[in-house]
Structure 1
Amino acid sequence: MSALHSGDPASFAADVLAEGPPELEHVPGVASRRPTKTSAGGALIRDSTGRVLFVVPTYKAVLDVPGGMTEDDESPKAAAVREIREELGLTMSLGRLLVVDWTPRNGVWRDCHQFVFDGGVVDDAVACDPELEGVVYLTLDEAEPRIYPSLHRRLALAVAALESGSTRYAEFGREV
């Protein structure tokens, strides 16, 4: 699996070649004036009782789902797979996309497209990353006071998407 994407590397390379040479800038500076938007990939991982797996980061005061920000030329799904391997020591292929959520700028963080994929069922996950204090399995109600309200809304949509089979689009955790 390539750091660029989570699909077949040979097909991806062929797709890149089929696009032709890199696009040139016809008006100098126009590309550098475009806004920079971030993206992140995360996973809804549950245990066999249906509780959601949360990571306990050392670098912020709230819980989060396994996953993280994309690197340059990396897809959100590949970022989630990479981060899950780094954070939990698990090599997994993620299931379908459950939610795409746009979150606005928040302090030092730029606005972001957040992608949540189905991470399936994993019992007894453990933290393997020094950036984590540990992991915890909680229901969404139990997690609510320990996560951002937008993440709570996003995960509620992810659970609904999992149950319905229909991907959801949201803005700041609210389906639109």
Structure 2
Amino acid sequence: MSALHAGDPASFAADVLDEGPAEVEYEPGIAGRRPAKTSAGGALIRDSAGRVLFVVPTYKPVLDIPGGMTDADESPKAATIREIREELGLDVELGPLLVVDWTPRNGVWRDCHQFVFDGGIIDGAVACDDELEAVVYLTLDEARPRIYPSLYRRLTLALQALETKTTYYAEFGREV
């Protein structure tokens, strides 16, 4: 799979060519004055008991879901697949997009678009990355004191999306 696109690389390359030549600036410098946003992709993975898979990072004091920040020219879905391979040693085929959530700037971190995909059911996942201490399967209520409130809200929407087969747009974990 291409770093640019998690789907068919050949059709993606054709789509890029169909766009025509790279866009040029008619007003020099305008693109450089635009704010830069980050994006991240994560997977809602559950076990057969319905508990959510959380990773225990070594670099922050809270639990998170498998996934991470996108690299340059990488889609959120491709980043999620790459991060799951790095963090858990698994090659997964992600299901549908469940939630797109905008999160505001927080300290050193810029505002971000967070994408949550259905990661399916995986029992017995283990941490395979030095950035992780472990993985744990917890219900959302069990995880609540160990995750950011915005992630709790985002995952609540993601679980709702699984049931309703609807993708939700949220801002800081709240559907809008």
Question: What TM-score does the superposition give when structure 1 sets the normalisation length?
Answer: 0.99
Q: How far apart, CA to CA, are the structure 2 residues paired with 1:129 and 1:44?
A: 19
Which letter does structure 2 place at the counterpart of 1:108?
A: V
Q: How does 1:23-172 map to 2 (within 5 A)?
A: 23-172=23-172
Query: 1:15 is paired with a residue of what secondary structure?
Result: helix
Query: 2:55 is paired with a residue of what secondary structure?
Result: strand
Identity across matched positions, percent: 81
Residue-by-residue CA offset, 1:25-81 (whole Å, 9 max, x unaligned): 111100000000000000000000000000000000000000000011100000000
**Any gaps of 5 or more consecutive residues in structure 1?**
none
Across the aligned residues of Structure 1 and Structure 2, the Cα RMSD in angstroms comes to 0.4
**Any gaps of 5 or more consecutive residues in structure 2?**
none
Query: 2:158 is paired with a residue of what secondary structure?
Result: helix
Structure 1 segments of 4+ aligned residues over 2 angstroms from their partners: none
Q: How far apart, CA to CA, are the structure 2 residues paired with 1:107 and 1:6?
A: 31
Which letter does structure 1 place at the counterpart of 2:168?
A: R
Q: How far apart, CA to CA, are the structure 1 residues paired with 2:28 and 2:167?
A: 39
**Pairwise CA distance, 1:130:** 0.1
Residue-by-residue CA offset, 1:106-142 (whole Å, 9 max, x unaligned): 0000000000000000000000000000100000000
Q: What is the aligned length?
A: 176
